[in-house]
Amino acid sequence: MMPDNLNLLPQNLQVSKGLSSTLKTAKSLGVIFIVAFIIFCLGMAGYFVYSKITLDSIQANVNKLTAQVKAQESSEQQLILLKDRLGKIALVKNEANASKNIAGMNTFLNNTSPSLKVSEVNITPIKMTMSLNIYSNDDLTKLLQNIKSTTLFNQAELSSFNYGAAGYTIDLNLNQISNQ
């Protein structure tokens, strides 16, 4: 049988037993450190991958929240504009208007001929000013009767009355709407 350890080195080149055990221990420690280093590197790589995935997830949430904030801002702006418009509508609805005077203007011109011309009209909620060109005495009489019979105005003032070859030119101021 052959011995298990066959050493062919001369005696003077052989490693001492103390140094041999130190080298074996150093080799074992080197292997342990290399394995530990590899495990540490794999752990760090795993940590970086996990951190990257988490960062991407957080960034996606930030982008989503940013989009929601922008949408919220837009809808809030629309809500404020709508509220402002509703306030303006309510303000306009509560203001006095001249719709009664506009409708009442037709009562002044009832039973007159189509030749009667209204050259200028200014209508407000409390006042109406009219400039008329009247070409016949009959139209003038009917207009004055209509003004006398109206209940829309408390005061009628004839501010200008001119007669010429073409007929009459009249400026009327009608004031103070009655609450009917």
**Alpha-carbon span 112 to 170, nearest angstrom:** 15
Name the helix (H) or strand (E) containing 151: none
Q: How confident is the model at residue 180 (pLDDT cuts 50, 70, 90)?
A: very low
- 132 forms beta bridges with 118, 170
Residue 29 has a pLDDT of 95
Please name which of 172, 112, 167, 156 lies closest in space to residue 138, comparing C-alpha atoms. Answer: 112
**DSSP type of residue 9:** S
Which tens digits make up the pLDDT trace of 77-112?
Answer: 999 999 999 999 888 887 777 777 777 777 777 777
pLDDT digit string (tens) for 140-150?
Answer: 888 888 888 87
**Pick from 128, 121, 143: which is nearest to 98 by CA?**
128
Tokens 């988490």 belong to 54
Tell me the whole-structure pTM to 2 decimals. Answer: 0.45
Q: Give the pLDDT of residue 9.
A: 66
% of the chain at pLDDT higher than 70: 89
User: How far does Cα 59 stand from its chain's mean position?
Assistant: 27
Q: Hey, is 163 helix, strand or coil?
A: strand
**3-state DSSP assignment of residue 130:** strand
DSSP 82-110: HHHHHHHHHHHHHS--SHHHHHHHHHHTT
Dihedral sign for Cα atoms in the order 37, 39, 44, 45: positive
pLDDT digits over 49-71, tens only? 999 999 999 999 999 999 999 99
b/e code 96-127 from CB counts within 10 Å (16+ = b) = eebebbeebbeebbeebeeebeeeeeebeeeb
Looking at residue 70, what is its pLDDT? 93
Q: In which residue are the tokens 């298990």 written?
A: 4
- pLDDT attached to residue 177: 55
> Residues 178, 143: contact at Cβ < 8 Å?
no
